[in-house]
Amino acid sequence: MIFEKLGALEIIVIVSVAAVLILLLYIVITVNSFKKHLIKIAKADTDIDTNLSKRYDLLKKALDTVKNYPKASKEASYEAIEFEKNMGIEQKSLINKKLDIMSGNLNDMVNSYSDFKSDKEFANLLAEVKDCEKNLEEAIELYNSKVSRFNQKLVSFPAKIIANMVHLKPVKFFDIAE
pLDDT score recorded for residue 17: 96
What is the SS3 assignment for the chain?
CHHHHCCHHHHHHHHHHHHHHHHHHHHHHHHHHHHHHHHHHHHHHHHHHHHHHHHHHHHHHHHHHHCCCCCCHHHCCCCCCCCCCCCCHHHHHHHHHHHHHHHHHHHHHHHHCCHHHHCHHHHHHHHHHHHHHHHHHHHHHHHHHHHHHHHHHHHCCCHHHHHHHCCCCCCCCCCCCC
> Where do the domains of the chain lie?
2-165
Rg (CA), the chain: 27
Dihedral sign for Cα 76, 77, 80, 81, please. negative
Contacts of 53 (CB under 8 A, 6+ apart): 83
pLDDT score recorded for residue 137: 95
pLDDT score recorded for residue 157: 93
Q: What pTM value is reported for the model?
A: 0.82
Q: Shortest CA distance to 148 belongs to which of 177, 165, 172, 166?
A: 172
pLDDT in tens, the chain (178 residues): 566 777 788 889 989 999 999 999 999 999 999 999 999 999 999 999 999 999 999 998 888 887 776 665 555 566 677 777 778 899 999 899 989 988 888 888 878 777 776 778 888 999 999 999 999 999 999 999 999 999 999 999 999 999 999 999 999 999 876 5
